[in-house]
Amino acid sequence: MARTEISTLGEFGLIKHLTKDLKPLQPSTKKAVGDDCAVMDFGAKKVLMTTDMLLEGVHFNLEYVPLKHLGYKAAVVNFSDIYAMNGTPTQITVSLGVSKRFSVEDLEQLYSGIRLACERYGVDIVGGDTCASMTGLTISITCLGVAAAKDIVYRNGAKLNDLICVSGNLGTAYMGLQLLERERIVAASDDKAQLAFEGKEYLLERQLKPEARRDILEALHKAGVKPTAMMDVSDGLSSELMHICSQSGVGCCVYEDKLPIDFQAAALAEEMNLNIVTCALNGGEDYELLFTCSLDDYEKLIPIDDLYIIGHITNPEYGCNLIGRNGEELALRAQGWNAFNQ
């Protein structure tokens, strides 16, 4: 494959090259890439905005993360934040810090993943920035979204006896990361080693190419259910639950035997002598939706596919607790991802 040095295009030439044939997908996009500001007209809608930064060596390892997958994931994790507010993502800006070891073709791969995510979720790329980096690759994405004021769901709305629900399964992305790290170490010590990925493809997909749970919001809306509090599971179930409880002034009770755990994840955890429940509670990067709902909505929730009721909200003095399979009570601890502890 031919290699084009980024310096031959320059900053603005590179932006033009990467965005030359972008077509707006949203009628609210009045001015996209090409000016000092993007212009968006939302009418009566409320604007939602989130931003996320990914740093090489901290959030991802390019020894095993393909650039296209990285671009897709970088976009989707921002969409997930908008969905966690019960909103709809509409526009993103993409800012990159790039070292000299990356070529134009490398950035084309990264951008192809970002663009694929945007096409899949109906989101426009409306701007961004690029600059030189001395420390590898940095990706910063800001996402705008919309929601009617009456539809927005915050973290502080959980009430006593509300049901605690989660989509998908937990700990799977973390086990995908453990698998990739294990095989990276094996490959480094023996370049002829056969990597043990067969039968574990789902774990890799959950780590490398997560999806935002737009489908769950659509199902809730169809069922006539509005969550009382909601977050996405980026740092781990325990951490997110404790955020909701702290901001809502409540406690919680979740049940070990109700936690949704994938078979591949459980099998690999056993193989690697890890406790899959600990992984499910603290692994992070699942980007599933965690939310609370009124007990009155129980019958409406049951038919929704890939949705699980894992506990209920309690009085604040009860604290945040996990009920084990034998009925034992264990206090939840926030052991999930913390960038400043890495």
Domain boundaries, the chain: 6-151, 163-341
Q: How crowded is residue 119: how many other Cβ atoms within 10 Å of its Cβ?
A: 11
Tell me, what's the pLDDT at 35?
62
Q: Given this model, what pLDDT does residue 246 score?
A: 92
Q: Which amino acid is at 238?
A: S
In tens digits, the chain (342 residues) has pLDDT values of 788 998 888 877 888 888 888 888 988 888 777 766 677 888 777 888 888 889 988 899 999 999 999 999 999 999 999 999 999 999 999 999 999 999 999 999 999 999 999 999 999 999 999 999 988 999 999 999 999 889 999 999 999 999 999 999 999 999 999 999 999 998 888 777 777 788 899 999 999 999 999 999 999 999 999 999 999 999 899 999 999 999 999 999 999 999 999 999 999 999 999 999 999 999 989 999 999 999 999 999 999 999 999 999 999 999 999 999 999 999 998 765 444 344
Taking the CB of residue 151, how many other CB atoms lie within 10 A of it?
16
Task: Give the pLDDT of residue 45.
Answer: 76
**Which pairing describes strands 163-167 and 307-314: parallel, antiparallel, or unpaired?**
antiparallel
* pTM of the predicted structure, to 2 decimals: 0.90
Nearest to 80 by CA among 222, 248, 285, 242: 285
Q: What pLDDT does residue 69 have?
A: 97
Q: What are phi and psi of 51, to 5 degrees?
A: -140, 150
For residue 187, the model assigns a pLDDT of: 84
pLDDT at position 186 is 87
Neighbours of 115 (CB within 10 A): 22
3-state SS, 61-110, equals: CCCCCCHHHHHHHHHHHHHHHHHCCCCEEEEEEEEEEECCCCCHHHHHHH
Per cent of the chain over pLDDT 70 is: 97
**What pLDDT is recorded for position 179?**
95
d(CA 204, CA 337): 19
- What is the per-residue pLDDT for 220? 98
- Amino acid identity at 10: G
Residue range 163-341 in CATH 3.40.50.2000: no
Helices (H) and strands (E) in the chain, counts: 10, 13
pLDDT of residue 36: 62
Q: How high is the pLDDT of residue 338?
A: 47
Find the helix or strand (DSSP H, E) in which 289 lies.
strand 289-293
Q: Which amino acid is at 287?
A: Y
Provide the token pair at 220.
């809730």
Question: Which token pair is 247?
Answer: 């901001």
Domain formed by 6-151, architecture? 2-Layer Sandwich (3.30)
What is the 8-class DSSP label of residue 190? -
